[in-house]
Amino acid sequence: MITGEENVSTGPARKAIILRGPPGVGKSAVRTLLQGHLGKSARYINLDAYWGKDEWRYAQPEFRYADLQLATEPVLVVELAWGEPDGLIFPGATRGANEWMSILQRAKREIFPFFLTAAWKDILNRLTERHGHKGHHDVLAELGRASFYEHRHYLFSYPEIPGITERTIDTTGKTADSVAEAIMGMAGV
């Protein structure tokens, strides 16, 4: 639990917490804890879920950010996991950040973007735990995506957005609880 006047919101909070980073840094675990703490006052939105060619939003790009536009919950927890695939006919969640950040700003949401990172050993351990010791192919595929973040590949790079500062949190050796607590403290929720 967070205590102290500096962490208490004094009015109807309209916030967006954005979690971004490579596979294995703890985004989903932190998101689950944030949701548990915030309960019904938060809505989880995974922007990366919208970019597959089989997803209806791929064919209807004017609706691709409908969840952000229509959300009534005081806090949105937005997860960006993979960067984006080549060949999109419109910008994806990472390169399209100016567009969806603009939606959040027009909705008068205070935006708290976080880039989670970790040492390779921690990433490997978490991915192996997630996929099991026999899931070598999945672990290697996710490690490959993680390397794109480390090398700042343009498909995984976040654009500079005026007035928005992304905070980096190194999750190496930290529990998801401690990372979630730090994020809640910084976002004042």
Write the CATH number for 27: 3.40.50.300
CA 27 to chain centre: 7
Name the token pair of 115.
């880039």
- For residue 2, being part of any structural domain is answered with no
- For residue 179, being part of any structural domain is answered with yes
Residues of the chain above pLDDT 70, percent:
68
Q: 21-45, pLDDT tens digit by residue? A: 888 899 999 999 999 999 999 988 8
Q: Over 70: is that where the pLDDT of 131 sits?
A: yes
- For residue 6, being part of any structural domain is answered with no
- For residue 127, being part of any structural domain is answered with yes
CA-CA distance, 81 to 22, in Å (whole number)? 6
Q: Over 60: is that where the pLDDT of 12 sits?
A: no
- pLDDT reported for residue 104: 87
Q: Share the mean pLDDT of the chain.
A: 76
In the chain the beta strands, taken as DSSP E runs, fall at 15-20, 42-46, 75-80, 110-117, 167-170
- For residue 154, being part of any structural domain is answered with yes
Q: Over 70: is that where the pLDDT of 187 sits?
A: yes
* Residue 141 φ/ψ, nearest 5 degrees: -60, -45
In what order do the strands lie in the sheet containing 15-20?
42-46, 75-80, 15-20, 110-117, 167-170
- End-to-end, the C-alpha distance of the chain in Å comes to 10
- For residue 145, being part of any structural domain is answered with yes
Q: 154-176, pLDDT tens digit by residue? A: 556 666 777 788 899 999 999 99
Q: How much is the pTM?
A: 0.78
Domain encompassing residue 152 = 13-187
Q: Over 70: is that where the pLDDT of 50 sits?
A: no
- pLDDT reported for residue 147: 72
Domain count, the chain: 1
- For residue 69, being part of any structural domain is answered with yes
Rounded mean pLDDT of 95-100?
71
- For residue 93, being part of any structural domain is answered with yes
